[in-house]
Structures are given as structure tokens and as C-alpha cells.
């Protein structure tokens, strides 16, 4: 199967994992709605919706750059309508946009809590809801959310309860979508990396250069996402996948090409302790 001609609506697609997923789809000739907030260059973050769109088209796809703050329902609806209008529908939703604030209850204030939950479970719900009428008409529709398996024994439950609430909320909603949409043939799955991934969030918030050196590149998550998105939506739904485990099940045995630093000891991602 291929994503050629399919239309993906990807939140947070201007950089990192979202952009990597978009580029992998573009290699098949997919259409990508780049729904993100960065319109002009950010001093600390790479990429904008326009640079991402240019990369997608250079990779062989078609792109529509849409400014969208996923905390704003009206902007979400407008972005979905713009993408469906340009490309004739929406086949796939990738809920990738995120914000991270680690720390305990005393460290994470209301502003940070609202930011995380607004960009996390609330946006996952609103984006999926806005795209639903298009997914119902698609041939092999998928909802993919970048969120982890729920593991209440993880140390992060106590170390970062607000962030845990945000990410587990995204997963719970996705599993709910799978149950609700199963009879309509719409798949909903969650995907999370085995290791830390070399993104701006890891660089700026999770340990800087040392953690980046012990990370994998975003392409491993993109390849795992691709394997999900080309599969039969009626049979592969309701899962919380780990990228490495999924790729191994698809026959991948050599993961060295994904490492930022070949031979380095890799750092486990959050929630997989």
C-alpha cells in the first residue's frame, strides 16, 4: 500500500516528529496540511509552516501551510476546511502538536497546565472532531496520536503529574476514538518512541546536547507511523504502539541508522522507565 494521493492533516508539522511524518508521506506523493503556529522564524526553534511545506514539496508531495493555534477551535475548523477544500478531503489525522512542562504540582502553574492540556488532549479531541466528517468518507482513514501507553507504575506519574495527565489524556481519547469509530472503519492508534528523539523539545527541555547524543532521529517515529498509516484501518486500531517494537514486527532488525551517535547508549523516553 502507499500514501500516494492521500491527504494528511498534521498538527505541529513545522518541525521535529510531525515534519518527519509529513516528509515520509510526501515520498509517496501524499498531500499534507501543515497545521502549526510558527509562521515567522523563531529564535530558538527551527522551521516554520512555510519551510515545512517547501520541504514536503521537494520530497515529492503537495503541501498546504495553514497557520493554526490548536487551542482555538475556530482556527482548527478553518484549517481542516482549507485542507479538505484544497485536496478534496482528509484521509489521515496526525495529532502531534504538544507542549511539555515537567515538574511536580508546586512547579507547574495554571498557565503551564492550561497550555499543556489545551495543546494536548483538548486539541486531540477538537482536531479529530473537526476532521471526522471527512474521515467518514475516506477509503482507509486513520487517526494517529503521538502519546504513550498508559503505565501507572511509571515514575513520571509522580514526578510530573500534570504532563502525565496531558499525555495519558491524549492516549485515552485515542482509545476512545478507536472504540467509537470501529464500526465506521476509522482506525485510531497511539504511537510513542522507545528512546528520546532528537527534537527541539529534547534539546531545550530534557537535557541538551548530552541527551540529543543519546537519542534517535525523528525518522524512526516517521517510519513507524508510515507502517500504521498504510495498514488496513479496519484491522489495525485501538493500539498503543512503541516505534521500535512496531518496526521489529514489520521485519526491521537494524536500527543503527536511526541513532544520532552510532554506538551510543540510548536514553529511554519518558513513561518507558
More confident residue, 238 or 1: 238
> Could you read off the pLDDT of 153-193 as tens digits, one per residue?
999 999 999 999 999 999 999 999 999 999 999 999 999 99
- Degrees (nearest 5) of the Cα angle 201, 202, 204? 65
What was the pLDDT predicted at 1? 84
What was the pLDDT predicted at 271? 95
- Is the pLDDT reported for residue 67 higher than 90? yes
- Degrees (nearest 5) of the Cα angle 221, 167, 34? 50
Superfamily of domain 7-197+217-253: NAD(P)-binding Rossmann-like Domain (3.40.50.720)
226 flagged as catalytic: no
What was the pLDDT predicted at 153? 94
What was the pLDDT predicted at 47? 84
> Could you read off the pLDDT of 236-259 as tens digits, one per residue?
999 999 999 999 999 999 999 999
> Could you read off the pLDDT of 5-19 as tens digits, one per residue?
999 999 999 999 999
- Is the pLDDT reported for residue 204 higher than 80? no
- Is the pLDDT reported for residue 46 higher than 80? no
Residue in 163, 168, 226, 258 annotated catalytic:
163
What was the pLDDT predicted at 200? 79
**Nearest-angstrom CA–CA distance, 29 and 107:** 45
User: pTM of the predicted model, to two decimals?
Assistant: 0.96
**44, 204 contact by CB (below 8 A):** yes
**Nearest-angstrom CA–CA distance, 69 and 59:** 26
**136, 89 contact by CB (below 8 A):** no
The answer to whether the Cα torsion of 132, 143, 72, 164 is positive or negative is: positive
- Is the pLDDT reported for residue 44 higher than 90? no
If pLDDT is split at 50, 70 and 90, which confidence band does 209 have? confident
Half-sphere exposure of 236 (CA within 13 A, CB side): 19
If pLDDT is split at 50, 70 and 90, which confidence band does 196 have? very high
DSSP 63-130: EEEEE--TT-HHHHHHHHHHHHHHHSS--EEEE-------S-TTTS-HHHHHHHHIIIIIHHHHHHHH
The CB density around residue 180, as the number of other CB atoms within 10 Å, is 12
What average pLDDT does the chain have? 95
**Nearest-angstrom CA–CA distance, 187 and 92:** 9
> Could you read off the pLDDT of 215-229 as tens digits, one per residue?
999 999 999 999 999
- The count of residues in the chain is 273
Amino acid at each position: 500500500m502507499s500514501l500516494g494521493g492521500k491527504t494528511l492533516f498534521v498538527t505541529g508539522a513545522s518541525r521535529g516528529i510531525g515534519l518527519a511524518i509529513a516528509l515520509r508521506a510526501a515520498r509517496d506523493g501524499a498531500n499534507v496540511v501543515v497545521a502549526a503556529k510558527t509562521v515567522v522564524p523563531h529564535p530558538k526553534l527551527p522551521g516554520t509552516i512555510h519551510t515545512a511545506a517547501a520541504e514536503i514539496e521537494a520530497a515529492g508531495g503537495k503541501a498546504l501551510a495553514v497557520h493554526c493555534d490548536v487551542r482555538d477551535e475556530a482556527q482548527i475548523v478553518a484549517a481542516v476546511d482549507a485542507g479538505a477544500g484544497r485536496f478534496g478531503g482528509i484521509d489521515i489525522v496526525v495529532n502531534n502538536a504538544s507542549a511539555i512542562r515537567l515538574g511536580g504540582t508546586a512547579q507547574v502553574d495554571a498557565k503551564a497546565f492550561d497550555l499543556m492540556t489545551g495543546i494536548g488532549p483538548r486539541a486531540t479531541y477538537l482536531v479529530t472532531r473537526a476532521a471526522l466528517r471527512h474521515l467518514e468518507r475516506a477509503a482507509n482513514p486513520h487517526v494517529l496520536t503521538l502519546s504513550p501507553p498508559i503505565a501507572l507504575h511509571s515514575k513520571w506519574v509522580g514526578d510530573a503529574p500534570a504532563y502525565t495527565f496531558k499525555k495519558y489524556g491524549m492516549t485515552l481519547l485515542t482509545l476512545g476514538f478507536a472504540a467509537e469509530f470501529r464500526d465506521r472503519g476509522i482506525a485510531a492508534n497511539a504511537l510513542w518512541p522507545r528512546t528520546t528523539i532528537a527534537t527541539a523539545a529534547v534539546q531545550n527541555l530534557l537535557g541538551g546536547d548530552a541527551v540529543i547524543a543519546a537519542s534517535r532521529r525523528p525518522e524512526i517515529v516517521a517510519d513507524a507511523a508510515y507502517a500504521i498509516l498504510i495498514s488496513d484501518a479496519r484491522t489495525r486500531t485501538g493500539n498503543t504502539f512503541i516505534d521500535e517494537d512496531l518496526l521489529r514486527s514489520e521485519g526491521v532488525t537494524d536500527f543503527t541508522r536511526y541513532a544520532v551517535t552510532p554506538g551510543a547508549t540510548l536514553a529511554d523516553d519518558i513513561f518507558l522507565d
